[in-house]
C-alpha cells in the first residue's frame, strides 16, 4: 500500500532554484480573463509545467492582487509575466519572435488537441475570455485553433481547467 508523502518529502524547488531552471519554450497568453481565480490558477499551472512566461492582456488582472494570490499560491513570484494592452499586440510580438500561435477555441475547422504533438519550436497558447472566448483578430493571427473534444451538454470548459489539459497533452507526456 502506498503512503502519502509529507510536504518536505516532495523535494520542491525554491523560487530561486525555479527561476534558474531551464523553462519549456511555451508562453501562455490570457486574453481578457475576468476571473482573478482563473488568473491565479493559470500561474500555478504554468509553474507546475515550467513554462517560460504568462502574458496578461486587456482586462486580465495583474499581480500583486489578493484574489490572484489565493489560487496562485506563490506562483506569481516564480513564473515570469508581462502585461500587454491587447492580446493582439502580444501575439504579434510573439509571432515576430518566431512563436507558433495556438488559440484554444471552437472554430469551423479546428485541430483537435489529441492530434497535437509535443512542440519542437517556441509555442504560445492563447486562452480567451470566459464568455466571448479568444478575440477574432487573434484567431486570424493564429497558426491553428485547437479544440478539446467534449461530449456532454456544456460547450466549454473553465479557462484554468483548459490550461491544465492543454499543457498536459503538450508537455506532460514528454518528461
pTM of the predicted protein model? 0.95
Q: Burial, 65: exposed, middle or buried (Cβ in 10 Å; 0-12, 13-18, 19+)? A: middle
Backbone angles phi, psi at 153, to 5 degrees: -85, -20
* Residue-level pLDDT at 117: 81
**Given the DSSP bridges, would you call strands 111-112 and 51-57 parallel, antiparallel or unpaired?**
unpaired
**DSSP string spanning 93-115?**
HHHHTT-EEEEE---SSPEEGGG
Residues whose CB falls within 8 Å of the CB of residue 52, separated by 6 or more in sequence, listed in order: 23, 24, 25, 26, 27, 80
pLDDT (tens, 9 = 90+) of the chain, 175 residues, equals 999 999 889 999 999 999 999 999 999 999 999 999 999 999 999 999 999 999 999 999 999 999 999 999 999 999 999 999 999 999 999 999 999 999 999 999 999 999 988 778 999 999 999 999 999 999 999 999 999 999 999 989 999 999 999 999 999 865 5
pLDDT at res. 174: 59
Give the model's pLDDT for residue 173: 64
Q: Which domains does the chain have, with CATH numbers?
A: 13-174 (3.40.1280.10)
Q: Is 107 exposed, middle or buried (0-12, 13-18, 19+ CB in 10 A)?
A: middle
* Res 120: pLDDT: 84
Write down the pLDDT at residue 50.
96
Amino acid at each position: 500500500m502506498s503512503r502519502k508523502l509529507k510536504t518536505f518529502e516532495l523535494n520542491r524547488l525554491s523560487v530561486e532554484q525555479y527561476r534558474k531552471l531551464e523553462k519549456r519554450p511555451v508562453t501562455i497568453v490570457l486574453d481578457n480573463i475576468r476571473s482573478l481565480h482563473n488568473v491565479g490558477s493559470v500561474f500555478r499551472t504554468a509553474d507546475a509545467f515550467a513554462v517560460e512566461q504568462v502574458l496578461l492582456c486587456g482586462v486580465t488582472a495583474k499581480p500583486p492582487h489578493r484574489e490572484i494570490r489565493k489560487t496562485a499560491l506563490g506562483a506569481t513570484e516564480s513564473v515570469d509575466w508581462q502585461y500587454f494592452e491587447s492580446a493582439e499586440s502580444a501575439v504579434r510580438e510573439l509571432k515576430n519572435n518566431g512563436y507558433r500561435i495556438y488559440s484554444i477555441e471552437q472554430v469551423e475547422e479546428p485541430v483537435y488537441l489529441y492530434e497535437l504533438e509535443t512542440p519542437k519550436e517556441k509555442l504560445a497558447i492563447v486562452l480567451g475570455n470566459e464568455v466571448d472566448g479568444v478575440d477574432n483578430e487573434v484567431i486570424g493571427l493564429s497558426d491553428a485553433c485547437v479544440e478539446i473534444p467534449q461530449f456532454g451538454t456544456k460547450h466549454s470548459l473553465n479557462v484554468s481547467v483548459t490550461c491544465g489539459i492543454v499543457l498536459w497533452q503538450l508537455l506532460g507526456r514528454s518528461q
